Structure 1
Amino acid sequence: MPRLFTALEIPGELVPKLEMLRGRLAGARWIDPENYHLTLRFIGDVEAPDADDFVEALSEIWVEPFSLKLSGVGSFGGRKPRALWVGVEECEPLMRLQRANERAARQAGLPPETRNFSPHVTLARLRGAEQGAVANYLSAVGAFEAEPFPVDQFVLMSAREGSGGGPYVVEERFPLVSPSARKRA
């Protein structure tokens, strides 16, 4: 039973910039750079027929290519930080793509996502990291910005059960196509 999610891959030229954010922080388990991604829709463990239905629904998504900019560093977990992430500047095309992924999941009969979409690239998982140490780290790197990059596809990825950080495998690629190109197809 595969553990699936849809995502945007991070271009190779941005990976060294993200790697520079790796620092000394007790309790941080840094994500391997080849596993950096921005999750659009986590599906989880699904049976093959449901996965096939999801892939079919994903292939019907028509969203125009767009640009995306990574900006800012933060953490999830409040007083008990559990992850470090790089954020994304507000981007309506990204939100449209995410909503289309949600519709595809529902069309495939999968349960709706109950969490709000918060676009980010996970840098590290935290276990036992002190709130003060995380705050110091964030004050040092929080103003991170990268140049915009083009998004012309999204991917369906799989992960080993319980891996929580990779390795991930790209199972399918879905190109983004403008509505005018769709009419010609």
Structure 2
Amino acid sequence: MKKAESRGPRAEGQKAQAGARSARPPASGKQTNREEPHQPSTYRLFYALRVPAEIAAPLAQAQARLRGNWRAVRPDQMHVTLSYLPAVPPERVEDLKRLGTRLAQDVPPLDVRLRGTGYFPNEGSPRVWFVKTEAEGLTELAEGLRAGIRDLGVETDDLAFKAHITLARKKGPAPRLPPLIFDQGWTAPGLTLYRSILRKTGPIYEVQSTFRFRGPASGDLFESAPPAAPSAPQEQP
């Protein structure tokens, strides 16, 4: 009896531990800490004119003057935004491609010119440094895109269109640069539908589709005019 009693507390302790293990919830067959690729329910898209490399180069040289917490836009990502679509269901992308094709067929290649630099907002502490751009028919194209997007029932921004190329965004205290004037330009052969993918290091712009301008150039409208003297071919972007 004494020998049996001496083993009683140990047996009771083992029984208590077994009961505690049995009270734990069963382990799930799935690992909850495994990360799966995030599939957004909507896309961030925008229509834009791509800035060719020969125009981005002098703009990149101007970016070298930035100081402080300015984050320069990469030269290969420079563009002129025509319309921004913050939340597009993936199934509507094909509709937007058809819209771009339809509008581009009546638009001639656009002669785009750079102008002076500016800030947004201009007063106080600016968040964006940009260079202004202009081209005949550019505002009409942007308005046509926005009207077509609204007809599709897709959300777009309501900001007034101001043609520009963003050069840098400010992420903290940073001095302004004095105004700069550029005298470059290019002939835009079409527009592009981009998808903006946000990353910690900055956005990535992924081309969804391109649309070539197929409208007649302004000089082609005057068929009775005598033919112009041949000129040197112009390099296309």
Please give the range of the TM-score, normalised by the shorter of the 2 chains: 0.7 to 0.9
Q: Distance in 2 between matches of 1:59 and 1:178?
A: 12
Q: What secondary structure is seen at the aligned counterpart in 2 of 1:13?
A: helix
- Which residue among 60, 75, 100 is the counterpart of 1:19? 60
Give TM-score scaled by structure 2 length: 0.67
Contact 1:25 1:129 in 2 (8 A): no
Match of 2:37 in 1: none
The equivalent of 1:100 in structure 2 is: 144
**Equivalences for residues 55-94 of structure 1 within 5 A:** 55-61=97-103, 62-77=106-121, 78-89=123-134, 91-94=135-138
- In structure 2, the partner of 1:172 is 209
**Paired residue for 2:20?**
none
Instruction: Return closer, same or farther for 1:103/1:179 CA change in 2, 3 Å cut-off.
Output: farther
SS at match of 2:84: strand
- Cα offset for 1:111? 3.2
Match of 1:30 in 2: 72
What letter corresponds to residue 99 of structure 2 in structure 1? A
Change (3 A) 1:156 1:179: same
Kindly tell me the number of residue pairs found equivalent between the two proteins: 173
How many angstroms does 1:7 deviate by?
A: 0.4
Q: Deviations over 1:9-53 (max 9, x none)?
A: 001111110101112321201111111111010012211222222
Closer/same/farther in 2, CA of residues 40 and 34 from structure 1, 3 Å limit: same
Separation (CA, whole Å) in 2 of partners of 1:113 and 1:44 = 8
Do the aligned residues in 1 keep the contact of 2:115 with 2:132 (CA within 8 Å)? Answer: yes
From the CA coordinates, give the structure whose radius of gyration is larger. Answer: 2
Sequence identity of aligned pairs in percent? 25
Match of 1:156 in 2: 193
CA contact (8 A) 2:86 2:155 kept: no
Runs of 5+ consecutive residues of structure 2 not aligned to the other structure: 1-41, 221-237
- Determine which of 121, 124, 136 is the counterpart of 2:168: 124
Aligned partner of residue 125 in structure 2, secondary structure: coil
Question: What is the alpha-carbon root mean square deviation over aligned residues?
Answer: 2.1
Structure 1 pair 104–8 and aligned structure 2 pair: CA distance change class (3 A): same
Query: Given the alignment of the two structures, is residue 4 of structure 1 paired with residue 45 of structure 2, yes or no?
Result: yes
Instruction: Provide the C-alpha distance between the structure 2 equivalents of 1:99 and 1:163, rounded to a whole number of angstroms.
Output: 32
Distance 1:47 1:163, change over 3 A: farther
Change (3 A) 1:164 1:110: farther
Match for residue 115 of structure 1 among 140, 151, 159: 159
Larger strand proportion of the pair? 1
TM-aligned CA distance change 1:112 to 1:48, over 3 Å: closer
Query: Which has the higher relative contact order, 1 or 2, with Cα contacts under 8 A spaced 6 or more apart?
Result: 1
Paired with 1:157 and 1:148, the residues of 2 have a C-alpha distance of 22
Supply the distance in 2 between the matched residues of 1:163 and 1:41 (Cα, whole angstroms): 24
Corresponding letter in the other structure for 1:178: G
- 2:197 and 2:206 in contact (8 A); partners too: no
